[in-house]
A and B are shown apart, each in its own frame.
Chain A
Amino acid sequence: MSDQHTQTQISSAEVHEVFADLHTRYGVRGLEEKRADQAFVRTDRDEAVAVLTHLRDRHGYTHLAFLTAVDQIEEGRFELLYMLHNYELRHDLGVIVEIPREGDGCSMDTIHRMWPAAATYQRELREMFGIDFPGSPRLHEDFALEGWHDLPPMRKEFDTREYSERTYYARPGRTKTDTRQHMKDTIYPSEAETW
């Protein structure tokens, strides 16, 4: 059962073969080959679980390295990233799924039945980004943020500085002097040299 180190690296042709298969079956698109051992593809939300299942069961991408989200706030969407790994071919394949970041659409099908560990990722994504994964175990239990009632903090609109200024107080006695202003005030304070 141990993986053999004599196995050769996956070839670009093989990556393209996997991609072609996914493209035909599920309309997967946007192949980005980053390195010989790493590529990314994009798929629609409705096909995502089928794509992941297919990759795991037919193409040997059995390891879910992680699941996370990237906030593309300007475009109003989250990019979910399922980073899969094939130990036999030693290949990373990131599957990117775009979902809306607002409203009911901000949800995704759960994959905890495929990878029980995914339940933790999904719990965290719910807490940190506000993404719903209906059916995922203990989804609404606090993860790292016990008693948090603010915005999900990993969303880009959550302003950490504003939050900390609102929640904590600055240590008294600190003063800042702006270098340029200070030099102006001391070297050329005149109104005649103020443009």
Chain B
Amino acid sequence: MRLADLQRRLGRCLLEGRSDPAVLERLADPPEQRERRLAVYRNNVRHALLSVLEAAFPVVRQLVGAECFAATMLAFVARHPPGQPVLYRYGDRLPDFLADFSPLAEPWPWLPDVARLEWARNEALFAPEAEPLTPARLAAVPPADLPGWRPSLHPSARLLGSIWPVHAIWDAHQPEGGALEAVELDQAESVLVWRQAGTVRQRPLQPGEWALLIALAAKRPLAQAVEAAAGQDANFDFPVALARLLGAAVLVAPNPESGGHELGDAPDDHFVVRRPVADREERRR
């Protein structure tokens, strides 16, 4: 058997958890031990990928329980094995997989959005660095230029709109988090995730802030972004919102240097999911 055939066949055995007589025949070990010996590799593959997914989706794991999580991840790994060896990027397809996985999506319809939030946190952790916009830098912009100025979001920033209280569910599964009983499931939440001083942070957004950040992520000028925010919330207080965003290092100056990074360059990368936002707006009407 050619090496390429052997590798293809062995790879399939390991991923799909089945036996292949043509592979077993190539081994020199005692026949009664061959399956067990190959099972070491199968367990290693599964354990390695399960560990990566456990680290990226700890709240999903708490929600469904460790055993159910492990069984679901086996199905995910068989369907979507990693396509390259950089495993901090493995798991991006899990939220959509969970949405289509009826044994979990029916009892826990919010689970895919919790997974989207956790994936946003994972992306934020590994996104490129960028100098945050400081009040001093902003003050140096001539006032006449401000309406047309286009500050953008830090490369780590992610905007997640959900029809579920996705931040509250996440928070109820943190060591110092809120009470699970206090989560109101009919409460929709929009969440900002970002990295500040090396730590991933998140907070739910008011409709005005959400509209402002969506507009800035789309590289629209400041005046238009403020207008969009005021359109969502008549009481939107721009100076207060701006001070808060500057203090949290969420904004960067226009046209940040882009160093050919693999994550977070395109404005679209800031949007974790768009469709549920539309759904939510429809539901509100």
Q: Do A and B bind each other?
A: no
